[in-house]
Amino acid sequence: MSDDSHIEKLFFKVFRNCFLRKIIFSHVSIFQKNREIRFESLKELRDFKFRDYIESLRLNCNEILKKGDIPESGFLKKIIFSSLLNVPKNFQTQHYYLYDDGSSTRTISKTTIDYSIIPQSVQHMEIRFPISLYPDDINISKIPTFFNSIVNIGITERDVNALYGHLLRFPSLIKISIRCGYNIQLTPQLFQKFSTTLTSLDLGREWQNNDTPIQLGDLDYLVNLKTLKISSYGRELFENVLPPKLEKLTICEYLSDVEICNKTMWVLPKTIKNLTITDSRFPPLLTFGRNMKLYKGLLPNGITHLQLLAKKMTILPFAIPDTVEYLLIDKILTHYPILSNYQLPKSLKKLDIVPSTSKFIIEQNALSDLNQLLSFSVLSFYDTDFVPSCWNHKIDIGFFPQSITSIDFGQHFNQPLTKDHIGLFPNSLKELTFGFYNHPIPIGLLPNQLKTLNFINGFNQIIEIGSLPSSLTFLNLSLSYKKSILPNALPSSIIHLKPKNLNKYK
């Protein structure tokens, strides 16, 4: 009898036993529920009943870690130190103080990371502290070699040969992420040891390849690399210089003074599925007046997720490939603040907009022909000048396509939607969110299939009987709501109501 056959028979003997099978499924269920756990204190971790089942551990506490605090069951694969303010006391901390006169001081408390407390089953360690709080012990020269994934590591040397020497210590690496302050020029041998194992590489927020173009032999030998972040690299990108299987790329806007008219100057791999083009992190004087233009053919077909985060960028007609399903436009179009249907591909399923000016306009027919669009959101962030993003323009019937299921108007939309707007929202709509809206809701405005209605802030209008559809299951009126609810104004279909202490009857 072969060993495989013996093992198979033994397995079925165990599995057919109802009692043993129940125990097995019980452990599987516990493992699935506790694979990834976050703790705010070491006491929580020490007392946690199912600590030996944890696969991913996230610590957000400011206590000293000791031997045995971290589970040593063998299941633990990933540790994340996620505190932004509460740094573990066995970490070296650096505090910077900036005064009104421009002077600054720094205080340092010397402590160290005791890597002996981390079980060797851990393969991935990630640090999510502010840069000013990073200890020297997170330097690559001091990290244990049993990790195969090192995220936000420090680089003190500015010598590529020194970095190469440190990398040689590791038998295998699948993910490398370097924090800012690193801008040495790539050499062909730098990651050669991990040419087949490395799948994710982040060269840091300040890496510009020492102000030289990436050359053949610098990265293309990383044959299994799927994710690459070079978020400050804004130079030429020639054909075949990037890894052949690259799927996710974050890169800076092209910063050359020369217009990109020669397609050999900026060539993206055809394998790219997820592309992010970011702002330049060069000094402002170097980028003044530059405006990257996306023209048809610059971006490869096959991209499904596209994030455009560069402020000085113009999207020319038909520049975005028809394969893009998710598009984020973040604070761009400042000089040409109109979004038209010629700029949006028909393949879009989700569109997120972050306008940076009140002059930003979405043309009436920009979305109406996007027959696959399911979600539209206006996100509200703050740009570098602390001016809130805003979109508050009139819209008419036909603005949204018949396919839409989710709409978020953002924090600034407050245009009255009256009886003349009945039909604005298609029957396909399931979720509707107003960030700040304070106008009456006319009967018939909301579609009959709507499930979720959110008023995040500002809404304080009497809800007329019949104005809310009978399909509604979730209603959030926000803390701004002070009116009394009329009898029968709320549909009986509502399961979740916020806030719960509403005065339901006049």
Query: How big, in percent rounded to 5, are the helix, strand and coil portions of the chain?
Result: 15, 20, 65
% residues pLDDT > 90 (the chain): 32
Condensed to tens digits (0 to 9), the pLDDT of residues 234-283 reads: 788 888 999 999 999 998 876 554 445 456 668 889 999 999 988 765 54
Q: What integer pLDDT is reported at residue 337 of this predicted model? A: 64
Least confident of 10-24, 274-288, 451-465, 472-486: 274-288
Backbone angles phi, psi at 411, to 5 degrees: -80, -10
Task: Give the span between the Cα atoms of 141 and 165, in whole angstroms.
Answer: 9
Condensed to tens digits (0 to 9), the pLDDT of residues 381-426 reads: 544 344 445 788 899 999 999 999 999 998 889 999 999 999 999 9
Q: What integer pLDDT is reported at residue 386 of this predicted model? A: 40
- Is residue 489 over pLDDT 90? yes
DSSP string spanning 348-410?
Answer: -SEEEEE--STT-EE-TTTTTT-TT--EEEE---B-TT-PBP-------TTSS-TT--EEE--
Task: Give the span between the Cα atoms of 499 and 504, in whole angstroms.
Answer: 11
Condensed to tens digits (0 to 9), the pLDDT of residues 42-75 reads: 889 899 999 988 998 888 876 777 888 888 887 8
**Residue 91: pLDDT band with limits 50, 70, 90:** very low
H/E run at residue 24 = helix 18-33
Question: 130, 144 in Cβ contact below 8 A?
Answer: no
Residues paired with 154 in a beta bridge: 139
Please give the span between the terminal C-alpha atoms of the chain, in angstroms, as a whole number. Answer: 81
Task: Give the span between the Cα atoms of 92 and 69, in whole angstroms.
Answer: 20
Q: What integer pLDDT is reported at residue 376 of this predicted model? A: 94
Token code pair at residue 27:
């452990």
Condensed to tens digits (0 to 9), the pLDDT of residues 179-195 reads: 655 777 888 888 899 99
Q: What integer pLDDT is reported at residue 19 of this predicted model? A: 83
Token code pair at residue 13:
């003997």
**Residue 149: pLDDT band with limits 50, 70, 90:** confident
Three-class DSSP category at 344: coil
SS (H, E, C) 127-142: ECCCHHHCCHHHEHHH
- Is residue 487 over pLDDT 80? yes
- Is residue 143 over pLDDT 80? no
Residues paired with 125 in a beta bridge: 79, 150
Q: What integer pLDDT is reported at residue 64 of this predicted model? A: 73
Q: What integer pLDDT is reported at residue 95 of this predicted model? A: 40
Three-class DSSP category at 111: coil
- Is residue 501 over pLDDT 80? no
**Residue 380: pLDDT band with limits 50, 70, 90:** low
β-pairing, 350-354 with 375-378? parallel
pTM > 0.75: yes
Mean confidence (pLDDT) of the chain: 80
- Is residue 82 over pLDDT 80? no
Condensed to tens digits (0 to 9), the pLDDT of residues 285-318 reads: 344 445 677 888 889 999 999 998 877 777 888 9
Give buried/exposed letters for 473-486 (b at 16+ CB in 10 A, else e).
ebbbbbeebeeebe
Q: Can you give the length of the chain in residues?
A: 506
Among the residues of 308-353, which ranges form H helices?
none
Task: Please state, in angstroms and as integers, the Cα–Cα distance from residue 30 to each residue in 38, 57, 310, following that order.
Answer: 16, 15, 45
- Is residue 120 over pLDDT 60? yes
Q: What integer pLDDT is reported at residue 121 of this predicted model? A: 86
